[in-house]
Chain A
Amino acid sequence: MDIRRISPIKFNINPTQVEKRDGWNVALSYGPHSGPFLIDLSHRPKWDLQNSNLPRFRPFGLIIPENPGQCTFSEGILINRMNRTQCQIWHLAGKKPRAPRSSSYTEITDGQCLLAVTGPSALDVMERITNLDLASPALSPPCLIQGPVLHIPCQVVLFSRPTAQTTILFSFSRGYGQTMADAILHSGKDLGLRPGGEEDLDFLGALNIDG
């Protein structure tokens, strides 16, 4: 039996390219436009890892960052260190890996939304919806900032910050998904923010790995 999985976010325009993947309808593109884009990545596999001895874990063979706020991105997998005992693992590119078997891992793909804001004005868009200082020169991407976006507790990852193509990823509880997406699109309307697909994420292309 096929499992049908539905993102909590539905944009008011239809994608031009869609791919069926692991039960999700994944929007690859919404047409040839320049950014900035709001991209729904809720279908991307995510895990929460909690243990009092995190350094002994090697999720997918990767090393967990030592300090809270640090991230590592390797082989399409982003690991965010949240606090002394907890980190999250987001699979952003490449083939879906086999789920870890340890009881310290919790699969949270269906429980959490993951959005990306990417493009030249991404930081301007974020400045309108959060008081977190993502433009701080003290931040060294990729890094994790935990705090409210539109008053919703989020994990915000400043993924890259070149002047032309800034990418910010943030995750939060699934129930807020549609409201958040609508509010963010509304906030960035005059900056040209529009829905985007996976292909609009530049770093996937740079990695040369498919969804």
Chain B
Amino acid sequence: MSYTITCPICGKRDLYEFRFGNEERGPYPNQKGLTPRAYSEAVQMHEAVGGIQKEWWYHRDGCGVWFTTWRDTLTGREVLQPEETS
């Protein structure tokens, strides 16, 4: 059995309908005075959290919407927002 992801429009669907868009890392740093190293780190150096993280997903086979959700990378399962679980 595969995992599910909850699309804000279509609801809970099979993981295979989605494309992973990587972890949510906020906006890119300001381009002005940005060094190659700082730019490279912004693009390449992900947190790769072992645990709960906020991620971008794209509903490729459905409504075509990009959205964020929370997922536990240790179990692969989608989880509620940390604020909601505490």
Q: Measuring CB to CB, which residues of chain A are less than 8 angstroms from any residue of chain B?
A: 68-69, 82-84, 86, 131, 145-148, 153
Contacts and interface: CB of A to CB of B under 8 A. Distances in A.
A146 B62 CA distance: 5
A153 B62 contact: yes
Nearest to B14: A131
**How many B residues touch the partner, as a band?**
10 to 19
Interface of B: 9-10, 13-14, 17, 59-65
A68 B13 CA distance: 16
A84 B66 CA distance: 12
Contacts of B62: 146-148, 153
> Interface majority SS on B: helix, strand, loop or mixed?
loop
Contacts of B10: 69, 145-147
B65 A148 contact: no
Given A146-B9, A153-B62, 18 more contacts: A69-B9, A69-B10, A82-B63, A83-B63, A83-B64, A83-B65, A86-B64, A131-B14, A145-B10, A146-B63, A146-B64, A147-B10, A147-B13, A147-B61, A147-B62, A148-B17, A148-B61, A153-B60
A68 B61 contact: no
Contacts of B63: 68, 82-83, 146
Given A82-B64, A147-B61, A68 B17 contact: no
A38 B60 CA distance: 26
B64 A147 contact: no
B1 to A, nearest CB: 12
